[in-house]
Structure 1
Amino acid sequence: MNTGIVFALVSAGLFGASTPLAKLLLGAIDPWMMAGLLYLGAGAGLAAVHLSRAALRLPAVEAPLRRTDVPWLALVILAGGVLGPLLLMFGLARTDGASASLLLNLEGVATMAIAWIAFRENVDRRLLLGALAILAGAALLSWQGRATLDLGAMLIAGACLCWGIDNNLTRKLSSADPVQIAMLKGLIAGTINLVIALGHGAALPSAGAVAAAAVVGFFGYGVSLALFVLALRHLGTARTGAYFSLAPFVGALLAIALLGEALTPQLVIAGLFMALGLWLHLSEQHEHEHAHEALEHEHRHRHDAHHQHAHEAGIPAGEPHTHRHRHTPMVHRHPHYPDIHHRHGHGA
């Protein structure tokens, strides 16, 4: 299995588990405060990882963030670190955990739609049909038997749109150190949400509740985001979003097990639609003759078929390693995804 698929699926599992766990804590923590604590937990945990790497003097194999990355990082933090979790927490407060978890499938649909329409990433018929199946399941889940949608569902859909924007913008940063990206996003977004929550009169929860939220945030947001960035590097935005659609299934199952929520026919049918969409994504294949244009960039790599270059003095010879390198033009054919080396156009 492609390494990027593994990263995406583990990322999805961790994030999916965080939704019902956060739902459990919302009784003791204000929604805005919860958004701040989840991201601060993610940022603080990854900061500890980052400092540990430095203290142990482990060799740097990831490219650091550069000054040109700062505007993209700021937009990522605003869309995915501030607005997304805020809308999710208010939506969770008005929606049962299982339904909320499955509604999060809309993030994958939003991610693919933006990647396809705004960033011109290739999305084939199978992926499109899968996205439509996921959307049908989400629409069924949020339908309340009347001509309007539930407010909680609409808030969660808004969060998914924010994360769809976030995921596409994060692709611009996917060559850099994923731990550094997730750490900065967590610390900055968490601090902003915490300050806003305190400014609106939210009370600080107990030490036990803070610790629980921090642990959920570290794994469900921090580790999950770092793995998501790695998946973007290997798979591109649309396909990473497709695999990430597993997250709501994990969340829905845990909500039923931990929160004692009912397994309703509506939930089962919606889940079947979403399962069909996920299967279509997982079974997708993409192979054709394609041309690589000259490209110069910096990222972690090995000397594989796409990285046949000489090293200048001072560049580490061990693999994997990181340095700025140049790709020469090449034409070949092999199965591939729109990763950082295959962002090319497609004919009709």
Structure 2
Amino acid sequence: MNARLGAISTALAAAALFGAATPLAKALLGAMSPFMVAGLFYLGSGIGLGIAIIVRNLWASNTREVTQRISKGEVPWLLGAIAAGGVAGPALLMLGLSTTPAATSSLLLNLEGVLTAVIAWVVFRENVDTQIFLGMVAIVAGGVLLSWQRGSHGVSTGAMLIMGACLCWAIDNNLTRKVSANDAMVIASLKGLIAGPVNLLVALAADAKFPALVTIAGAMTTGFAGYGVSLVLFVVALRNLGTARTGAYFSVAPLFGVALSLILWPELPHPSFWIATGLMAIGVWLHVRERHEHVHLHERLEHTHRHRHDEHHQHEHDFPYSGVEPHTHAHVHLPITHSHAHFPDVHHRHPH
């Protein structure tokens, strides 16, 4: 139970940090181009996490923990995730934010969780229960209501761009699931160090100029927290909850964004805003209360990741073990059949 609550809390913390970054990005757009903001956000994320990794490794240099390395077979998945979520996604978001109210933009980002679940369900065959599906319907309904412009005959360009960003991040989330057993800080740092310079080069090619140093520092700090630390927490949640469930919990991110945006730009929202908020709240509630339990088979599995000695990690150590948990080393899971409440995490990716 504690492990489950811890995994959910990790996903919610990731959502809070990312949601708060959205209205701050909106504020920065007045001084910088969308690609410049995205570039500085990701560069701040990559550099900040890179420093944190160095400090962490120096601190743990006297332990027996294994340094995880991303295998060659996982590299294409990681590069695909970086291209979709680190380059295309933030660029579309920044372009959409430039013409869309901050509160509406924040709530539209709920679609990321929905699209994440749909791709996980349809493409990667991850189990999605009825409540998850009904929650997606409610969130989609709220998103359509928010993006439909009154007095027009279609969805605004800004809203379409933000929805495109959500699709890119949904693809990113599902591809990241393939490498989620690896070091979350390394994954997030690599994404920042690659996506940041790419976005900056696009901005400079479009004749954008670097802003004042204080603005650069503010953008990179925001990126470190809202994109970097948030992504680390998201990958850890992805490892423990699976793609669709993590996307569902991450759907609360816009609620934090709305709260902050209404503080920065006080205004009286249109009634449709509150209707959409209610629909999205129902969807998130349905996601949170979902339970999944059945008899399932664990086949033999050998891998390396950070773990505790729970019911799925009962193994011997071929090195002097100090008893410190969690720790990282290669270990083997023997075949077992049992029943318990579980998520499609790294140990429960079985067919139904």
For the aligned pair, the TM-score class normalised by the smaller chain equals over 0.9
Aligned to 1:114: 119
Matches within 5 A, 1:80-119: 80-119=85-124
Aligned to 1:4: 7
1:155 aligns with 2:161: yes
1:17 aligns with 2:20: yes
Please say if residues 255 and 261 of structure 1, whose CA atoms lie closer than 8 Å, have aligned partners that are also in contact. Answer: no
Match for residue 49 of structure 2 among 46, 50, 56 = 46
Aligned-residue offset at 1:261? 3.5
Unaligned runs of 5+ in 1: none
Please say if residues 47 and 183 of structure 1, whose CA atoms lie closer than 8 Å, have aligned partners that are also in contact. Answer: yes
Q: 1:259 to 1:61 in 2, by over 3 A?
A: farther
Which whole-Å deviations, capped at 9, do the CAs of 1:249-303 have from their partners, x for residues lacking one?
1101111111223322111110000000000011111111111111111111122
The SS at the match of 2:136 is helix
Please say if residues 64 and 180 of structure 1, whose CA atoms lie closer than 8 Å, have aligned partners that are also in contact. Answer: no
1:345 aligns with 2:337: no
Which whole-Å deviations, capped at 9, do the CAs of 1:130-182 have from their partners, x for residues lacking one?
01100000000001133210000000000000000000000011101111110
Unaligned runs of 5+ in 2: none
Q: 1:315 to 1:82 in 2, by over 3 A?
A: farther
Aligned-residue offset at 1:55? 2.9
Aligned to 1:55: 58
Count matched residues.
Answer: 346
The SS at the match of 2:201 is helix
Matches within 5 A, 1:1-348: 2=4, 3-58=6-61, 59=63, 60=65, 63-145=68-150, 146-313=152-319, 318-346=324-352
The SS at the match of 1:215 is helix
Amino acid in the other structure paired with 1:28:
A
The SS at the match of 2:207 is coil
The SS at the match of 2:302 is strand
The SS at the match of 2:251 is helix
Q: 1:316 to 1:66 in 2, by over 3 A?
A: farther
Amino acid in the other structure paired with 2:37:
M
Distance 1:141 1:318 in 2: 49
Please say if residues 61 and 320 of structure 1, whose CA atoms lie closer than 8 Å, have aligned partners that are also in contact. Answer: no
Q: 1:36 to 1:131 in 2, by over 3 A?
A: same
Amino acid in the other structure paired with 2:206:
H
Which whole-Å deviations, capped at 9, do the CAs of 1:3-55 have from their partners, x for residues lacking one?
21111000000000000011011100111111100100111111110111123
Please say if residues 39 and 186 of structure 1, whose CA atoms lie closer than 8 Å, have aligned partners that are also in contact. Answer: yes
Structure 1 residue ranges (4+ consecutive) displaced by more than 6 angstroms after TM superposition: none
Q: 1:15 to 1:87 in 2, by over 3 A?
A: same
Aligned-residue offset at 1:200? 1.4
Distance 1:266 1:198 in 2: 39
- CA RMSD for the aligned pairs? 1.4
Please say if residues 24 and 259 of structure 1, whose CA atoms lie closer than 8 Å, have aligned partners that are also in contact. Answer: no
The SS at the match of 2:344 is coil
Please say if residues 315 and 323 of structure 1, whose CA atoms lie closer than 8 Å, have aligned partners that are also in contact. Answer: no
Distance 2:88 2:321 in 1: 41
Amino acid in the other structure paired with 1:126:
Q
Amino acid in the other structure paired with 2:47:
A
Which whole-Å deviations, capped at 9, do the CAs of 1:217-258 have from their partners, x for residues lacking one?
000000000000000011000000000000011101111111
Distance 2:280 2:96 in 1: 20
Please say if residues 8 and 244 of structure 1, whose CA atoms lie closer than 8 Å, have aligned partners that are also in contact. Answer: yes
The SS at the match of 1:332 is strand
Aligned-residue offset at 1:62? 6.4
Moved more, 284-293 or 116-125: 284-293
- Aligned identity (percent) is 56
